Amino acid sequence: MCGIVGYNGKGNNTLRILIDGLKALEYRGYDSAGVAYKNNEINIVKSVGKINELEQKIDFDIDTCMGIGHTRWATHGEVNLTNSHPHHVGDVTIVHNGIIENFNEIKKELMNNGYKFNTTTDTEIACGLIDYYYKECNDIKEALVKFMDKVKGSYALGVMTKDSDTIYSVRKDSPLIIAKGENGNFIASDTIAVSKYADSVMYLEENIIAEITNDSITLFDKDLKEVESNFKLIDKSVDNTDKCGYDHYMLKEIHEQPKVFRDTVSPYLENGIDSLIDTMPDFTKYNRIDIVACGSAYHTGLVGKSLIEEFADVPVNVEVASEYRYKKNFYDDKTLVIVVSQSGETADTLAALRKAKDDNIDTLAIVNVEGSTMAREADVLLKIKAGREIAVATTKAYSAQVAMLSLIALNLANAKGNIDKEEIKEILKDIKELPVKIENTILNSDYTNIAEAIYKNDNIFFIGRGIDYALSMEGSLKLKEISYINSQAYAAGELKHGTISLIEEGTPVIGILTEEDLILKTISNIEEVKSRGAVTIGVTNSDINSKFDYKIEVPKVHKLLQPLLTVVPLQLISYEVAKLRECSIDQPKNLAKSVTVE
């Protein structure tokens, strides 16, 4: 959450570089934005709303070679101009991503020392604290060491002082990269912010201070001894942000799913099932798996649970990371903890990973972003190949995560001898044909007529049993996050235990029916809501006739792969509904793509 960028260079297009960087980081938050730049003195320009608003306030002719910028997802303090970053106290100006947990205590101490504050943010207090230490020791690096020792919480900082032409950075539990280019040096929350201008990049480690001038980058540990840097060339191919003619990134990303599926699974299946065994870890040593994640990634865990339990006979416990990290866990040396995350930076999931590692439990990460913290810290990484996902609502990364969990289930089922050669042959054939089937599912049905029928409703329900219940949860989350319609997912059999009282004339109920043994059961639940006035929509791989008002048929494939087709109509219905409601589809209100605070 929040995006920061900084530039110190030789060219005079600093403000353009900062604005371009902020635009690329807008996925991290878009409540307000601001930049601070140096020309003789430090100047700050801020605005409420998206980066376009800020851009209009900027005079790009101003001659400046150094600056820092910020796009905010508000944590402390309402969304307004005063609370937006950069913050400035005394001789120090900062941008911050993270949360300073003990800011109230620090605020009191600083106020006792004569400091006055104008905002309700934790960041202004952090800025005041750095200024206090800076004045005390007259050395900004020493001040940052004292700052790191004092504050609790998470931070990635870009720091400028009145008297120097250098940017300083430190971080804890929030991501930060440093990058070099021909015309200067950079800091940013994500490589994408600077890949247009920089050539090589490194991830800043915790407890290290980065000192960035216009022609050098020097790293120091907390004893202020110089440490080595380790830059790698930026892979610019992953940072393609072109919409390719689509109205929204979300639609583009839905259409990318056939390729993403192929790219994600093919490295594991070059020589059929044998290469799957060779390329994946040996899961047979575990008698329990914990899958930990947030949001849609948590939903992929629920799909994974269904598949691994059914095909590999291993109990799987799926938990929301924000709960898992603080509860008593019953894992042992025969437990594998799998974290699932598109960004690899989600604060709660990362904390759950670190907790398991601290307890000496084996960990595996299913992550999309190369080089992210989870990718680096997990014992084993299974990287999905979704490419850059820009829409806040995940689609292609969700599918790729499900695909990876399906491969794990297949691997384990095969290793335990739970599936025979014929079935494996059938699965491999389905895998080969799946990209085309996903494509047909995207193109062949009319999702707009369903969207037309339901978009004016205030309440929409998703129901399903077994794996279809897990998919209902994802369908429901997708709809509410981008269309702002209140929607709920229910286990189909559970509805009548209370929630059915909310069904009235015209309430849309989307039933997901792909679990062969359970379809007739869910049909009965559809009939129950239908007879109470619901508008019923069936998403099914069966040709069964029921009293659906609308029916979308998806191709039937092996159960290990079915969710990858079933989710497509759910994504597209949400998309079309949000479009009709004229919502901000790629950047829904109150949300951010990467949730790096708990």
Span near ligand AGP by CB under 6 A; candidates 129-137, 288-296, 410-418, 534-542: 288-296
User: Where on the phi/psi map is residue 142: left (φ > 0), alpha (ψ -120 to 50), or beta?
Assistant: alpha
C-beta separation of 332 from 360 below 8 A: no
C-beta separation of 515 from 466 below 8 A: yes
In the bound complex, which residue of the shown chain has the CB atom lying closest to ligand AGP? 295
Residue 412 Cβ, how far from ligand AGP at the closest point, in Å? 23
* Complex with ligand AGP: residue 72 or 478, whichever CB lies closer: 478
CA nearest neighbour of 40 among 63, 17, 24: 63
* DSSP string over 231-266: -EE--GGGG----TT-SSHHHHHHHTHHHHHHHHHG
Taking the C-alpha atoms of residue 566 and residue 511, their distance in angstroms, rounded to an integer, is 11
Residue 152 Cβ, how far from ligand AGP at the closest point, in Å? 23
Based on the shown chain and the rule CB under 6 A, indicate whether residue 292 belongs to the binding site for ligand AGP: no
Bridge partners (DSSP) listed for residue 96: 157
Contacts 24+ apart (CB under 8 A), 128-132: 128/89, 128/90, 130/89, 130/92, 130/94, 130/159, 131/89, 131/90, 131/91, 131/92, 132/90
Window 447-486: contact mask with ligand AGP (x via CB under 6 A): ----------------------------------x-----
* Complex with ligand AGP: residue 392 or 560, whichever CB lies closer: 392
Tell me whether residue 225 is one of the annotated catalytic residues.
no
Window 480-509: contact mask with ligand AGP (x via CB under 6 A): -x----------------------------
Both structure tokens of 470:
């897990």
Based on the shown chain and the rule CB under 6 A, indicate whether residue 192 belongs to the binding site for ligand AGP: no
How many Cα atoms sit within 13 Å of 231 on the Cβ side? 18
Tell me whether residue 2 is one of the annotated catalytic residues.
yes
Based on the shown chain and the rule CB under 6 A, indicate whether residue 296 belongs to the binding site for ligand AGP: yes
Residue 156 Cβ, how far from ligand AGP at the closest point, in Å? 16
Span near ligand AGP by CB under 6 A; candidates 79-87, 218-226, 293-301, 562-570: 293-301
- Between residue 393 and residue 452, which ones bind ligand AGP under the rule CB under 6 A? 393-394
* Complex with ligand AGP: residue 125 or 392, whichever CB lies closer: 392
Based on the shown chain and the rule CB under 6 A, indicate whether residue 595 belongs to the binding site for ligand AGP: yes
In whole angstroms, how far apart are CA 306 and each of 207, 291, 323, 516?
41, 12, 21, 14
Residue 484 Cβ, how far from ligand AGP at the closest point, in Å? 14
Question: Which member of 93, 349, 414, 536 binds ligand AGP (CB under 6 A)?
Answer: 349
Taking the C-alpha atoms of residue 339 and residue 382, their distance in angstroms, rounded to an integer, is 10
C-beta separation of 533 from 507 below 8 A: yes
Q: Site size for ligand AGP, by CB under 6 A?
A: 15
Span near ligand AGP by CB under 6 A; candidates 228-236, 283-291, 338-346, 419-427: 338-346
- Between residue 212 and residue 241, which ones bind ligand AGP under the rule CB under 6 A? none
CA nearest neighbour of 514 among 545, 496, 538: 538
* Complex with ligand AGP: residue 343 or 587, whichever CB lies closer: 343
C-beta separation of 197 from 181 below 8 A: yes
Catalytic residue among 2, 65, 127, 294: 2
Question: Which member of 36, 106, 127, 297 binds ligand AGP (CB under 6 A)?
Answer: 297
Question: Which member of 1, 33, 35, 392 binds ligand AGP (CB under 6 A)?
Answer: 392
Span near ligand AGP by CB under 6 A; candidates 69-77, 191-199, 387-395, 485-493: 387-395
Residue 264 Cβ, how far from ligand AGP at the closest point, in Å? 15
Catalytic residue among 46, 355, 530, 593: 593
Taking the C-alpha atoms of residue 167 and residue 158, their distance in angstroms, rounded to an integer, is 7
Name the 3-class secondary structure at 389.
Answer: coil
C-beta separation of 261 from 401 below 8 A: no
C-beta separation of 339 from 368 below 8 A: no
Query: What is the binding site for ligand AGP (CB under 6 A)?
Result: 294-297, 341-343, 346, 349, 392-394, 481, 594-595
Catalytic residues: 2, 593
